[in-house]
Homo-oligomer: A and B are copies of this chain.
């Protein structure tokens, strides 16, 4: 399993962001960001992980897993069920299932 630091640094570079820019965007000091990326921090707050996952368009679960909060990994379906829905009214069961089916379809037809 990739460390939290590696995961965060890769994500930041993928988005071509500097530590200072991340600081401006999230309010997290660049010094602390550096420590996070160098695995000096064992237990960051949910707040911090959420802000970063949000900025980098990462799934929170992958950050939590990298940070050691989550140890085991589920399959796609369970993962989607658990992760979808920050919105005011979350997705209904039917909507979730429909979206999962639709995504499978999307990916299937993409493979040609």
Contact = CB atoms under 8 A, between A and B. Distances in A.
A77 to B, nearest CB: 9
A76 B57 CA distance: 17
B82 A59 contact: yes
A71 to B, nearest CB: 9
Interface residues of A, number: 44
A61 B85 CA distance: 8
B73 A59 contact: no
A68 to B, nearest CB: 7
A47 B47 CA distance: 12
Contact of A103 (B50, B57, B95): B95
A88 B47 CA distance: 23
A85 B86 contact: no
**Most B CB within 10 A of own CB, among A68, A75, A82, A87:** A87
